[in-house]
Structure 1
Amino acid sequence: MLAIIGGTGIYQLEGLEVMGEHELETPFGSPSAAITQGKMADQDLLFLPRHGRRHELLPSEVNYRANIWALKKLGATQVIGLSAVGSLQEEIAPGDLSLPDQYFDFVKGNREKTFFGNGLAAHVSTAEPTSKCLADGLEKAAESVGQKVHRNKTYACVDGPRLGTRAESFFLRGAAGCDLVGMTNVPEVFLAREAQLCYCTIAIATDYDCWLDDPAQHVSVEQVIARYGASLEKAKQVLTAYITQGNSCADDCSCRKSLASAVLTPREVLNAEQLELLELLSA
């Protein structure tokens, strides 16, 4: 089943025939909001607004573990996120869409980044953290509706909620070699990998961050909101095309086997709670 995680400006999924809502309590607390289940083009879908339905959660306040656990519990096998980002490269103009395949974790705050620990040890490979088959399907859908998407880009994730300094912007685009900067995809992408979910985000560039010499190009919240609306429609077109074309990742995708050799703790020493978590993540 496909799950959609809506970012800024996406608090409900248009065109979704709502079948019901799920309010789950997880071992990690509550998700950002109730999860909507419905159908679109005869496909079962789940939808979760990342920041809550009234955008009440800062990036650092999102309970990423609860969100991914809940989607997995409800049967998700693939996740598409939508995220506002700043562009660190001139070729990615404000309004452009990207499908990042690499991540640079520049989060310094205390976000919970793994399902493991407390007696359950595992080390999941994130050399290729996103799903190529999911990105290929989204690129094909974008082409079908005349939308260009950038591929093979690196997303740097920062804490927020403040917008970055010029020094940080230069570091991320220079020394770190990043193309996009945002506040929400870490640890979301890595938790999805731990849960054996195919994951890809549609990144919507709102601005050039603040690395350009022209101060008029430096990002402000007012600019983000003004530019974001039109760009969001592009992302929705691509998402709708992906769904209506019946695209999906195969069950034998490598993302769906990421725990195969990652867990080090013997099953016989795990307690009932740990076994339950492992069985959910491994399903």
Structure 2
Amino acid sequence: MIPLAIIGGSGFSGLPSLLVSDAQTVATPFGETSAPVTRGRLGDAEVLFLPRHGPSHHLPPHRINYRANLWALRNCGAEHVVALAAVGGITPRFAPTVLAVPDQIIDYTYGREHSIHDGTTGTVEHIDLTTPYCEELRQALISACTHTGQTVIDTGVYGATQGPRLETAAEIRRYERDGCDMVGMTGMPEASLARELGLCYASLAFVVNWAAGKGDDGIITMQEIEANLALCVERIVGVLTNLATVR
């Protein structure tokens, strides 16, 4: 079976419960990946794992080589990619520790390499991104949440911001007017590059804080984010194990 690939976000420089068999440095046309591609077993299934911020979480969102990462996963045999995403909650349902599988995305990033069709080789190609996530994999993620007893919001609009700074309260109000339910920094160009490469790509988002101006405390702290992230890790690993095993 073609292995499932998992891209680890904040809090997932490694993947708990993954029995590692090897790690491979993959040469790509776009330069170095964030880390070697790890192959291992999660439950009874073989999976690939790549931490997008690097093994020591040293790469900020705007410095990640998204093109190399996705190309390397496809080169290692992946057809399905689950992207883990720590996000801030904007609308009321998206409270800290909530799990969500977004179905839409709005891109506010800039200055990133957004396409493998960059004009240096071949011809320009225009992909359809009406539905930016793979519906087959989205439904499989939702089912895995249900089977493991996890409540999940099965739709939502992810607002992709530049980072690495957090947003201002005015920016969050703008994103809410635009229709965003959650905010993160790595959802684009990851989703569109996956589509260009023919990968079935979906995101499992977990809310680690209220976005700016949405919480009661006024200031977002790393202590708050880390505490909420810790509450999500075991649940997420359970969902991924179920997904890898039953797909």
Which band: TM-score by shorter chain? Answer: over 0.9
Q: Write the deviation string for residues 182-225 of structure 1: whole angstroms up to 9, x where unpaired.
A: 001100111111111111111110111113373x0542222111
Residue 212 of structure 2, aligned match among 210, 213, 216: 210
Q: Write the deviation string for residues 51-89 of structure 1: whole angstroms up to 9, x where unpaired.
A: 000001000111000000000111100000111000111
CA–CA distance in 2 between the matches of 1:155 and 1:203?
9
Identity of aligned residues (%): 39
Q: 1:222 to 1:41 in 2, by over 3 A?
A: closer
* Structure 1: stretches of 5+ with no match in the other structure: 248-283
Residue identity opposite 1:51 in structure 2: H
- TM-score (ref. length: structure 1): 0.83
Residue 104 of structure 1, aligned match among 103, 106, 109: 106
Number of residue pairs aligned between Structure 1 and Structure 2? 243
**Does structure 2 conserve the Cα–Cα contact (< 8 Å) formed by 1:158 and 1:182?**
yes
Q: Which residue does 1:157 correspond to in 2?
A: 160
**Does structure 1 conserve the Cα–Cα contact (< 8 Å) formed by 2:43 and 2:241?**
no
Deviation at 1:140, TM superposition (A): 1.1
Q: 1:34 to 1:167 in 2, by over 3 A?
A: same
CA–CA distance in 2 between the matches of 1:45 and 1:144?
20
Residue identity opposite 1:238 in structure 2: V
**Does structure 1 conserve the Cα–Cα contact (< 8 Å) formed by 2:169 and 2:212?**
yes
Superposition RMSD in Å: 1.3
CA–CA distance in 1 between the matches of 2:169 and 2:229?
22
Residue 75 of structure 2, aligned match among 60, 73, 76: 73
CA–CA distance in 1 between the matches of 2:52 and 2:160?
15
Q: Which residue does 2:31 correspond to in 1?
A: 29
- TM-score (ref. length: structure 2): 0.94
Q: What pairs with 1:1-283 in structure 2 (closer than 5 Å)?
A: 1-108=3-110, 110-118=111-119, 119-174=122-177, 176-212=178-214, 214=216, 216-244=217-245, 246-247=246-247
* Structure 2: stretches of 5+ with no match in the other structure: none
Instruction: Please identify runs of 4+ aligned residues in structure 1 that moved more than 3 A.
Output: none
**Does structure 1 conserve the Cα–Cα contact (< 8 Å) formed by 2:84 and 2:205?**
yes
Secondary structure of 2:23's counterpart equals strand
**Does structure 2 conserve the Cα–Cα contact (< 8 Å) formed by 1:28 and 1:66?**
yes
CA–CA distance in 2 between the matches of 1:45 and 1:217?
40
